A and B are shown apart, each in its own frame.
Chain A
Amino acid sequence: DAKTTQPPSMDCAEGRAANLPCNHSTISGNEYVYWYRQIHSQGPQYIIHGLKNNETNEMASLIITEDRKSSTLILPHATLRDTAVYYCIVRVNNNAGNMLTFGGGTRLMVKP
Protein backbone atom coordinates (compact mmCIF):
# COMPACT_ATOMS: atom_id res chain seq x y z
CA ASP A 1 0.00 0.00 0.00
CA ALA A 2 1.14 3.55 -0.79
CA LYS A 3 2.50 5.81 1.94
CA THR A 4 0.75 8.98 2.99
CA THR A 5 2.05 12.26 4.38
CA GLN A 6 0.00 14.45 6.68
CA PRO A 7 0.82 17.54 8.75
CA PRO A 8 1.30 16.49 12.38
CA SER A 9 -1.12 19.04 13.79
CA MET A 10 -3.69 21.66 12.84
CA ASP A 11 -5.98 24.07 14.66
CA CYS A 12 -9.46 25.07 13.64
CA ALA A 13 -11.98 27.49 15.13
CA GLU A 14 -15.27 26.00 16.22
CA GLY A 15 -17.93 26.43 13.54
CA ARG A 16 -15.42 26.91 10.76
CA ALA A 17 -14.50 24.38 8.11
CA ALA A 18 -11.54 22.14 8.87
CA ASN A 19 -9.51 21.20 5.82
CA LEU A 20 -7.11 18.33 6.42
CA PRO A 21 -4.62 17.62 3.62
CA CYS A 22 -3.02 14.33 2.72
CA ASN A 23 -0.30 13.61 0.21
CA HIS A 24 -0.19 10.20 -1.45
CA SER A 25 1.98 10.81 -4.48
CA THR A 26 2.79 7.11 -5.03
CA ILE A 27 -0.81 5.94 -5.03
CA SER A 28 -1.64 3.19 -7.51
CA GLY A 29 -4.59 3.19 -9.85
CA ASN A 30 -6.49 0.61 -7.84
CA GLU A 31 -5.87 2.13 -4.41
CA TYR A 32 -8.60 3.96 -2.56
CA VAL A 33 -8.17 6.84 -0.13
CA TYR A 34 -9.68 6.22 3.32
CA TRP A 35 -10.03 8.52 6.29
CA TYR A 36 -10.39 7.42 9.89
CA ARG A 37 -10.23 9.45 13.06
CA GLN A 38 -9.38 8.54 16.62
CA ILE A 39 -10.81 10.50 19.50
CA HIS A 40 -8.79 10.26 22.66
CA SER A 41 -9.01 6.86 24.38
CA GLN A 42 -11.29 5.41 21.72
CA GLY A 43 -10.74 3.15 18.73
CA PRO A 44 -10.44 4.66 15.24
CA GLN A 45 -13.69 5.57 13.53
CA TYR A 46 -14.30 5.32 9.79
CA ILE A 47 -15.17 8.66 8.15
CA ILE A 48 -15.19 8.37 4.39
CA HIS A 49 -13.39 6.86 1.40
CA GLY A 50 -13.06 7.44 -2.33
CA LEU A 51 -11.25 6.39 -5.49
CA LYS A 52 -11.15 9.43 -7.78
CA ASN A 53 -14.45 11.25 -7.50
CA ASN A 54 -15.24 13.63 -4.70
CA GLU A 55 -17.35 12.05 -2.00
CA THR A 56 -19.65 13.44 0.68
CA ASN A 57 -21.47 11.84 3.56
CA GLU A 58 -23.07 13.04 6.77
CA MET A 59 -19.69 13.42 8.46
CA ALA A 60 -17.41 14.96 5.88
CA SER A 61 -16.42 15.59 2.27
CA LEU A 62 -13.43 14.11 0.50
CA ILE A 63 -11.80 15.98 -2.33
CA ILE A 64 -9.30 14.02 -4.42
CA THR A 65 -7.13 15.85 -6.95
CA GLU A 66 -7.40 14.85 -10.59
CA ASP A 67 -3.95 13.23 -10.57
CA ARG A 68 -4.94 11.46 -7.29
CA LYS A 69 -1.65 12.41 -5.67
CA SER A 70 -3.31 14.28 -2.85
CA SER A 71 -6.64 14.68 -1.13
CA THR A 72 -8.38 16.88 1.42
CA LEU A 73 -10.83 15.88 4.09
CA ILE A 74 -13.30 18.65 4.85
CA LEU A 75 -15.30 18.91 8.05
CA PRO A 76 -17.72 21.66 7.06
CA HIS A 77 -18.59 23.00 10.51
CA ALA A 78 -16.09 21.74 13.05
CA THR A 79 -17.24 21.25 16.63
CA LEU A 80 -15.24 20.64 19.79
CA ARG A 81 -16.13 16.95 19.48
CA ASP A 82 -14.20 16.80 16.21
CA THR A 83 -10.95 17.21 18.13
CA ALA A 84 -9.11 13.99 17.26
CA VAL A 85 -6.26 12.46 15.31
CA TYR A 86 -7.20 12.05 11.66
CA TYR A 87 -5.58 9.30 9.61
CA CYS A 88 -5.36 9.22 5.84
CA ILE A 89 -4.84 5.69 4.49
CA VAL A 90 -4.56 4.32 0.99
CA ARG A 91 -5.22 0.70 0.20
CA VAL A 92 -6.40 -1.64 -2.47
CA ASN A 93 -10.11 -2.33 -2.14
CA ASN A 94 -10.32 -6.08 -2.60
CA ASN A 95 -10.84 -9.13 -0.46
CA ALA A 96 -7.12 -9.43 0.28
CA GLY A 97 -7.75 -8.34 3.80
CA ASN A 98 -8.21 -5.59 6.32
CA MET A 99 -4.60 -4.68 6.89
CA LEU A 100 -4.54 -0.91 7.21
CA THR A 101 -1.25 0.96 7.29
CA PHE A 102 -1.65 3.92 9.64
CA GLY A 103 0.79 6.81 9.49
CA GLY A 104 1.21 9.45 12.13
CA GLY A 105 -2.01 11.25 11.28
CA THR A 106 -2.96 14.88 11.89
CA ARG A 107 -3.92 15.96 15.37
CA LEU A 108 -6.80 18.40 14.86
CA MET A 109 -7.55 20.73 17.71
CA VAL A 110 -10.89 22.53 17.44
CA LYS A 111 -10.88 25.64 19.60
CA PRO A 112 -13.83 27.66 20.89
Chain B
Amino acid sequence: KAGVTQTPRYLIKTRGQQVTLSCSPISGHRSVSWYQQTPGQGLQFLFEYFSETQRNKGNFPGRFSGRQFSNSRSEMNVSTLELGDSALYLCASSYYPGANVLTFGAGSRLTVL
Protein backbone atom coordinates (compact mmCIF):
# COMPACT_ATOMS: atom_id res chain seq x y z
CA LYS B 1 0.00 0.00 0.00
CA ALA B 2 1.08 3.57 -0.52
CA GLY B 3 3.18 5.17 2.20
CA VAL B 4 2.85 8.55 3.85
CA THR B 5 2.92 11.23 1.17
CA GLN B 6 4.17 14.71 1.87
CA THR B 7 3.98 17.64 -0.50
CA PRO B 8 5.83 19.63 -1.57
CA ARG B 9 9.16 17.86 -1.08
CA TYR B 10 11.20 21.03 -1.39
CA LEU B 11 10.32 24.68 -1.17
CA ILE B 12 12.01 28.02 -0.72
CA LYS B 13 10.37 30.97 0.97
CA THR B 14 11.49 34.37 2.19
CA ARG B 15 11.22 35.79 5.68
CA GLY B 16 7.77 37.01 6.57
CA GLN B 17 5.96 34.73 4.15
CA GLN B 18 3.76 31.86 5.19
CA VAL B 19 3.83 28.23 4.08
CA THR B 20 1.42 25.31 4.04
CA LEU B 21 2.62 21.72 3.99
CA SER B 22 0.44 18.74 3.25
CA CYS B 23 0.46 15.16 4.50
CA SER B 24 -1.59 12.22 3.24
CA PRO B 25 -1.42 9.32 5.71
CA ILE B 26 -1.45 5.64 4.91
CA SER B 27 -4.94 4.46 4.05
CA GLY B 28 -6.76 3.56 7.25
CA HIS B 29 -4.46 5.57 9.47
CA ARG B 30 -6.34 8.22 11.39
CA SER B 31 -3.62 9.71 13.56
CA VAL B 32 -1.19 12.18 12.02
CA SER B 33 1.69 13.81 13.83
CA TRP B 34 4.21 16.40 12.67
CA TYR B 35 7.88 16.79 13.55
CA GLN B 36 10.51 19.40 12.77
CA GLN B 37 14.11 18.35 12.18
CA THR B 38 16.99 20.82 12.25
CA PRO B 39 20.74 20.25 12.60
CA GLY B 40 20.80 22.14 15.88
CA GLN B 41 17.69 20.86 17.65
CA GLY B 42 17.27 17.44 16.05
CA LEU B 43 13.82 15.91 15.73
CA GLN B 44 11.15 17.75 17.68
CA PHE B 45 7.46 17.03 18.02
CA LEU B 46 5.16 19.73 16.68
CA PHE B 47 1.61 18.43 17.08
CA GLU B 48 -0.68 15.48 16.57
CA TYR B 49 -4.16 15.16 15.14
CA PHE B 50 -6.75 12.43 15.45
CA SER B 51 -10.34 12.58 14.27
CA GLU B 52 -9.83 16.18 13.16
CA THR B 53 -8.84 17.22 16.71
CA GLN B 54 -5.45 18.34 17.93
CA ARG B 55 -4.49 15.97 20.72
CA ASN B 56 -1.00 17.09 21.63
CA LYS B 57 1.16 20.08 20.90
CA GLY B 58 4.89 20.53 21.26
CA ASN B 59 6.73 23.58 22.48
CA PHE B 60 6.49 25.75 19.39
CA PRO B 61 5.16 29.30 18.96
CA GLY B 62 1.66 29.99 17.75
CA ARG B 63 2.99 30.68 14.25
CA PHE B 64 2.94 26.93 13.82
CA SER B 65 -0.52 25.52 13.33
CA GLY B 66 -2.17 22.56 11.74
CA ARG B 67 -5.41 20.89 10.96
CA GLN B 68 -6.79 17.55 9.91
CA PHE B 69 -9.57 16.86 7.47
CA SER B 70 -12.30 14.26 7.61
CA ASN B 71 -10.31 11.99 5.26
CA SER B 72 -7.40 12.13 7.78
CA ARG B 73 -5.21 14.20 5.50
CA SER B 74 -3.41 16.90 7.43
CA GLU B 75 -1.86 20.26 6.74
CA MET B 76 0.48 22.37 8.78
CA ASN B 77 1.00 26.08 8.38
CA VAL B 78 3.82 28.33 9.44
CA SER B 79 3.14 32.04 9.31
CA THR B 80 5.57 34.94 9.37
CA LEU B 81 8.49 32.73 8.47
CA GLU B 82 11.83 33.22 10.18
CA LEU B 83 15.26 32.03 9.09
CA GLY B 84 15.23 29.52 11.94
CA ASP B 85 12.18 27.81 10.48
CA SER B 86 14.39 26.30 7.80
CA ALA B 87 14.07 22.60 8.47
CA LEU B 88 12.87 19.22 7.33
CA TYR B 89 9.23 18.85 8.32
CA LEU B 90 8.19 15.25 8.80
CA CYS B 91 4.73 13.80 9.00
CA ALA B 92 3.99 10.43 10.60
CA SER B 93 0.80 8.42 10.62
CA SER B 94 -0.62 5.52 12.60
CA TYR B 95 -3.93 3.79 13.08
CA TYR B 96 -4.57 5.53 16.38
CA PRO B 97 -2.73 7.61 18.98
CA GLY B 98 -0.28 5.51 20.92
CA ALA B 99 0.02 2.85 18.23
CA ASN B 100 3.23 0.87 18.28
CA VAL B 101 4.38 1.83 14.84
CA LEU B 102 4.58 5.29 13.37
CA THR B 103 5.19 5.46 9.64
CA PHE B 104 7.00 8.58 8.55
CA GLY B 105 6.91 10.32 5.21
CA ALA B 106 10.03 11.53 3.40
CA GLY B 107 9.47 15.07 4.62
CA SER B 108 9.16 18.55 3.20
CA ARG B 109 12.40 20.50 3.19
CA LEU B 110 11.75 24.18 3.77
CA THR B 111 14.41 26.80 3.18
CA VAL B 112 13.74 30.34 4.40
CA LEU B 113 15.88 33.06 2.85
Q: Which residues of A contact B (CB under 8 A)?
A: 36, 41-46, 49, 87, 93-105
Q: How would you classify the secondary structure of chain A's contact residues: helix, strand, loop or mixed?
A: loop
Task: Please name 18 further chain A to chain B contacts, defined as beta carbons within 8 Å, in addition to the given A36-B102, A46-B103, sorted by A numbering.
Answer: A41-B106, A42-B107, A43-B90, A43-B104, A43-B106, A46-B101, A93-B98, A94-B98, A97-B56, A97-B97, A98-B48, A98-B56, A98-B99, A98-B102, A99-B33, A102-B43, A102-B44, A105-B42
How many A-B pairs with Cβ below 8 Å? 66
Contacts of A101 in B (CB 8 A): 45
Within 8 Å CB of A36, what residues of B?
A: 102
CB-nearest residue of chain A to B33? A98
Shortest C-beta distance, A84 to chain B (Å), equals 13
